[in-house]
Structure 1
Amino acid sequence: MSSKKKQNRRSRQPNSNPPLVASNDRISKLLQSEDLVPDPSQGSDKFFDLITWNIKFFNNRDPKRVAIITNILHELNADIFVFQEIEEHSLDVVAQNLIDSSAGLYKVAYGTTGGDQRVAIMYDTEWVKASEDIKELFGNEDLTVNVENLKKQVFPRLPLASNFVVRTADDPFDFNLVGVHLKSQRGGGFEQRKAAAQRLAEYIQNDAADEDIIIAGDWNADPNRPEWEPIQDLEKQGLLKFEGFNFVNSQVEGSHLSVGGRRSKLDVVAVTIDAAKAVVKEADVVEWTILDDSPLALTEREVRKKVIDTISDHLPVLTRFNFTDRDADDEA
């Protein structure tokens, strides 16, 4: 199966009409069928797709699971993936399989902290370039908080970050990407997440090398929770999108699954205002139809359990950034 990117989805000629979406560009087809792409942007090559996904203790020792994950990523075919709970080097075989199947020229960078639950970034080097080495943030800082008289790391898994350049627009889009997997709610975690939010807010205001910043990953708490106050304050100041970009208004929007049917919105994105202007729409949800319409005549609970057991208890979350001409529209 050839890649959508091998069929001129990205190759527009000057002054030509926008190309049709390639036959196997499934994301674009789905978004357009759900009316999530404005008419002027349909068929345009001026976008990039970012997906964050916690794959739940992923390693490469189970060939069947590797094949399942590879097939899913082939279908998604995003430009950048931010992964959580990844064993070091375990995605190398997946990236090679995607290259062999013409899904893209993927490259993987791994964090060094978190043991078998590391943060990883995989990106298609055909369309996205890292303009500097991908490195962990805050590794030289002693970031700890006291939790019940015990010293705890603010970031059990350090954020993984770099500056990237997307080549999909006429004018390349430069941005700073930060992949996160913050402390879980098991055994508490509130103080660690609150301190993490404060340090990330400081990073956004003072430390980031680019004014366009995207923070994506598993935050391990809904975006309306009180521990995110430092990030929420920046949103109130008009500096970024967070709660307004990750609405929490129904169970169906949660990306974290439980066998019993409960969902939580833990996998979210924070975007600075300039970068947020490039997003087509905010916080729309496209359901995985397998969860509601199983071809195996299983109950929804059985299908959900199968997904959790064989794939992950998190769903991949897609954000599409669509660019417009600066002269025609003050966005991009």
Structure 2
Amino acid sequence: MSDNQVTTESNDRLSKAFSGIVPDKYKDSDAFLNIVQWNIEWFGARKSTTKDKRRVALVTDILEAFNADLFVFQEVAGPSEDGRYKGVFDAIADELTGIRGAGDYVVYYTQAGGEQRVAMMWDRDFIRAKTAVKDLFPVGTHRTEDGKDAFANRTPLHGHFEAKVGAAGRFDFQTVGVHLKAMAEGASRRRKSAEVLADWMAQSIREVDADILVVGDWNAPPTADEWEPIKSQEGVNFEAINDPSDFSYLWLENSTNKYVSKIDLAALSLSSETPPPEHVAKTVRWRPIEEALARSANLKDAEVRSILAEIKDNISDHLPTITQFYFDKK
């Protein structure tokens, strides 16, 4: 990524760190919205106490560096119903807010999903929830023809937000976080999920005057046949905003067609005639990956594989993605 300097607001740490992503025409803008989506593999599931403590520390450092307005997570452990333990992001939100001064973060989780829940964490200095952030559908609402839950008991999480834009502007938007069924046998459930999401987006864009961004781990590349209901839905941007040549998932156990893939995707509906932003669900490649690729130009090079394996083992098997909305001053 580019190391060119970008003129931004003092709180816009993400654009400073990843300046190559910021469109040229918005480099001097103080009106922006940063959304980071990330599947953090079994985060908080307590598979290894020592490793989990280190991962929590690493992830907290990364989130502070991003300093995004809104985070959308998958595969995270949420709070227990009886209150005996908190969700994994509760302490992180508290640390980012009270100790590190990175913002005023609050986190909400889906009710469903066990220790693989969807969660949203946002900075209330710049975003407020207009309605309750909650499961978009109850578990089991939508099923395939053979009776399986379309969303694999991991319900989408929905939020309707208002963001501050510059000194006095406001921007309403809806976000849905998803974690769809994995593997080839999950194709029928992913297709049913796509049908449900396409129908919901078409209805919601008519009923609510707010853009819709659906982001998450879709568990299939953007070229997959099961996304046809999304691709064919009028007013939904999908194919043009998901780059199939990119990668966000580190498989690594197979050095052929399943080595890496782009399965962290986005669908976008706009309530106005404004064109979609230039960067939607853009994968963040850590600097060591970029430097190794620059030297080898081959994903299967031993050095690149070693770096990817280290990231997978110590942080997650998914790379985060960024969606940025920049607004022209009026």
Structure 1 residues 105-146: Cα deviation after superposition (integer angstroms, max 9, x where no partner) = 110000011110000000001000001111111217631114
Q: Structure 2 matches for 1:1-332, cutoff 5 A?
A: 20-21=7-8, 25-32=12-19, 34=20, 36-39=22-25, 41-59=26-44, 61=49, 62-88=52-78, 89-99=87-97, 100-139=99-138, 142-147=141-146, 151-156=147-152, 157-169=154-166, 170-185=168-183, 188-207=185-204, 209-234=208-233, 237=234, 239-248=235-244, 250=245, 253-259=246-252, 262-274=259-271, 277=275, 279-281=277-279, 286-293=284-291, 299-325=303-329
- Aligned-residue CA RMSD (Å): 2.4
Q: CA distance change for structure 1 residues 23 and 324 in 2, over 3 Å: closer, same or farther?
A: closer
Q: Decide whether the 8 Å contact of 1:255 with 1:263 is kept in 2.
A: yes
- 3-state DSSP of counterpart to 2:64: helix
Alpha-carbon distance in structure 1 between the residues aligned to 2:34 and 2:319: 16
Q: CA distance change for structure 1 residues 300 and 144 in 2, over 3 Å: closer, same or farther?
A: same
Amino acid at match of 1:123: W
Alpha-carbon distance in structure 2 between the residues aligned to 1:85 and 1:179: 11
Q: CA distance change for structure 1 residues 292 and 28 in 2, over 3 Å: closer, same or farther?
A: closer
Alpha-carbon distance in structure 1 between the residues aligned to 2:21 and 2:182: 35
What TM-score does the superposition give when structure 2 sets the normalisation length? 0.82
Alpha-carbon distance in structure 2 between the residues aligned to 1:182 and 1:122: 20
How many Å apart are 1:175 and its aligned residue?
A: 1.0
5+ residue gaps, structure 1: 1-18
- 3-state DSSP of counterpart to 1:152: coil
Worse overlay, 102-111 or 136-145: 136-145
Q: CA distance change for structure 1 residues 191 and 274 in 2, over 3 Å: closer, same or farther?
A: same
Structure 1 residues 217-270: Cα deviation after superposition (integer angstroms, max 9, x where no partner) = 111111121101111002xx3x0211101121x2xx110112356221111111
Q: CA distance change for structure 1 residues 82 and 285 in 2, over 3 Å: closer, same or farther?
A: closer
Alpha-carbon distance in structure 2 between the residues aligned to 1:218 and 1:35: 21
Alpha-carbon distance in structure 2 between the residues aligned to 1:291 and 1:247: 18
How many Å apart are 1:22 and its aligned residue?
A: 5.3
Alpha-carbon distance in structure 1 between the residues aligned to 2:176 and 2:21: 29
Alpha-carbon distance in structure 2 between the residues aligned to 1:108 and 1:119: 11
Q: CA distance change for structure 1 residues 244 and 154 in 2, over 3 Å: closer, same or farther?
A: same
Amino acid at match of 1:105: D
Q: Decide whether the 8 Å contact of 2:281 with 2:321 is kept in 1.
A: no
Structure 1 residues 168-217: Cα deviation after superposition (integer angstroms, max 9, x where no partner) = 2443100111111111116x101100000001111011145344111111
Alignment identity in percent?
Answer: 36
Alpha-carbon distance in structure 2 between the residues aligned to 1:35 and 1:189: 33
Alpha-carbon distance in structure 1 between the residues aligned to 2:72 and 2:14: 17
How many Å apart are 1:320 and its aligned residue?
A: 0.4
Alpha-carbon distance in structure 2 between the residues aligned to 1:165 and 1:94: 23
How many Å apart are 1:103 and its aligned residue?
A: 1.0
Alpha-carbon distance in structure 1 between the residues aligned to 2:282 and 2:122: 23
Q: CA distance change for structure 1 residues 90 and 283 in 2, over 3 Å: closer, same or farther?
A: closer
Amino acid at match of 1:312: S
What TM-score does the superposition give when structure 1 sets the normalisation length? 0.81
How many Å apart are 1:25 and its aligned residue?
A: 4.1
Structure 1 residues 58-104: Cα deviation after superposition (integer angstroms, max 9, x where no partner) = 00752211101100101111100000000011111111111120111
Q: Decide whether the 8 Å contact of 1:176 with 1:210 is kept in 2.
A: no
How many Å apart are 1:30 and its aligned residue?
A: 4.1
- 3-state DSSP of counterpart to 2:73: strand
